[in-house]
Amino acid sequence: MEVDYLIVGSGLAGICFAETCLLRHKKIIVLNDTSQNSTIIAGGLYNPIILKRFTKIWEAEAQLAISIPFYKKLEVKLHTTFLYEIPLLRKLNNIEEQNNWFAASDKTTLSNYLSSELETLNSKSVISNYKFGKVNHTGFLDTKKLKETYTHYLLSNSMYNEETFAYSKISIEENFIQYKNIRAKQIVFAEGFGLHNNPYFNNLPLDGTKGELLIIKSENLKLKEIINSSIWILPLGNNLYKVGATYNWQDKTNQKTEEAKFELVTNLKELLNCNFEIIEHLAGVRPTVKDRRPLLGKHYKHNNLFILNGMGTRGVLFAPYLSDKLFQYIENGIPLDNEISIERIYKKLFG
């Protein structure tokens, strides 16, 4: 089998790069195992504002301009819906926080994203003595549904294999990569936290942050917006809500813990005055980097080995945007920004 791209990993990064290639009429094959599940259990939230500091995320406008239309086109292609554009309401706990919100929403760089008028929540089940700040251009992506439908699409078109990738089977030639019966011009590794098993890129500082979430059911909560407080609550429909998330920088397993469950339930009880039932408990490791920047680029030694990783908690907006950046870099030689290129790491490692 001869392809333009062999893509290792079918999480959000691998999916978006695969579709980016197909949109440019490239021939691909995607290989994936089930060792990593961060895409399946991800919260899927997207929000262009860092609410702790009232600052925009890096390249917010560009990410929104590329990523949201990308997902909408993919919904049409797959005949399904997995992108939901709904407001995010930030709980304001005191007068000082309200004043800080007004000051931030008055800034020209933030006025498009932060509403200057505070909101009153329709649901009476959320405890709050003050109003809420509304963030625009927010929503969530049903990452599990996206992965399932896109994997089915790839399978039905003979572009997907479920297998544990064997790095020892790679033969790197000057103009192509040979992997078992696959000959590819390029190979792109989009393995998430699985990067640690990759002998070609495991010298990169992918740290990994474990996160745990709950799916709850509550007939009285009746939320239509995403609520952001000490935790976030995301309405899924049918009285179901996703609740998250915890952060653990030591535990690198996908195992659910009672400690994280207790933390989420405690925060829920402080936020809600209604009953709820825990339906599901989820855990996974986010592919985070210590400098909070993604990892994109070409291997320092091999010209046909590339990486797309390190999207952390902002994968929904990052994945289509960075997939386009990497594709343009590989195909057209357009340089990667210093903030995302692994050259910033290689300079420290090799001088």
Does residue 313 fall inside a structural domain? yes
In whole angstroms, give the CA distance from residue 209 to residue 287: 7
CATH (domain of 340): 3.50.50.60
Per-residue tens of pLDDT for the chain, all 351 residues: 999 999 999 999 999 999 999 999 999 999 997 666 667 677 899 999 999 889 999 999 999 999 999 999 999 999 999 999 999 999 999 999 999 999 999 999 999 999 999 999 988 899 999 999 999 999 999 999 999 999 999 999 999 999 999 999 999 999 999 999 999 999 999 999 999 999 999 999 999 999 999 999 999 999 999 999 999 999 999 999 999 999 999 999 999 999 999 999 999 999 999 999 999 999 999 999 988 899 999 999 999 999 999 998 899 999 999 999 999 999 999 999 999 999 999 998 886
Exposed/middle/buried for 274, CB within 10 Å: 0-12, 13-18, 19+? middle
pTM assigned to the model: 0.95
Does residue 251 fall inside a structural domain? yes
Exposed/middle/buried for 268, CB within 10 Å: 0-12, 13-18, 19+? buried
Q: What is the pLDDT of residue 126?
A: 95
> How many C-alpha atoms does 70 have within 13 Å on its Cβ side?
27
Does residue 154 fall inside a structural domain? yes
Residues 340, 312 share a domain: yes
End-of-domain residue from the set 286, 308, 336 = 286
Exposed/middle/buried for 151, CB within 10 Å: 0-12, 13-18, 19+? middle
Residues 308, 270 share a domain: no
Tens-digit pLDDT profile for residues 304-320: 999 999 998 899 999 99
H helices within the chain, ranges in order? 12-23, 38-41, 60-78, 95-105, 143-156, 258-271, 315-332, 343-350
In whole angstroms, give the CA distance from residue 26 to residue 261: 44
End-of-domain residue from the set 251, 286, 321 = 286
Residue whose token pair is 């320092």: 300
H helices within 87-209, ranges in order? 95-105, 143-156
296 phi, psi to nearest 5 deg: -130, 145
Tokens standing for residue 196:
């640690």
Q: What is the pLDDT of residue 122?
A: 83
Q: What is the pLDDT of residue 34?
A: 66
Instruction: Tell me the residue range of the domain where 179 lies.
Output: 2-43+144-206+290-350
Tens-digit pLDDT profile for residues 25-41: 999 999 997 666 667 67
Tens-digit pLDDT profile for residues 275-334: 999 999 999 999 999 888 999 999 999 999 999 999 988 999 999 999 999 999 999 999
**Torsion angle, alpha carbons of 147, 149, 151, 154, to 10:** -140
How many domains are there within the chain?
2
Q: What is the pLDDT of residue 313?
A: 87
Tens-digit pLDDT profile for residues 216-229: 999 999 999 999 99
In whole angstroms, give the CA distance from residue 102 to residue 7: 46
CB 283, CB 211: distance < 8 Å: yes
Does residue 181 fall inside a structural domain? yes
Q: What is the pLDDT of residue 35?
A: 63
Residues 194, 303 share a domain: yes
Strands (E), the chain: 2-8, 28-32, 45-46, 49-50, 55-56, 83-84, 88-91, 132-135, 139-141, 160-162, 170-172, 177-179, 182-189, 209-217, 226-228, 232-237, 240-244, 277-286, 295-298, 305-309
Does residue 107 fall inside a structural domain? yes
Q: What is the pLDDT of residue 37?
A: 61
Q: What is the pLDDT of residue 36?
A: 64
End-of-domain residue from the set 286, 312, 328 = 286
User: How many angstroms separate the first and last alpha carbons of the chain?
Assistant: 39
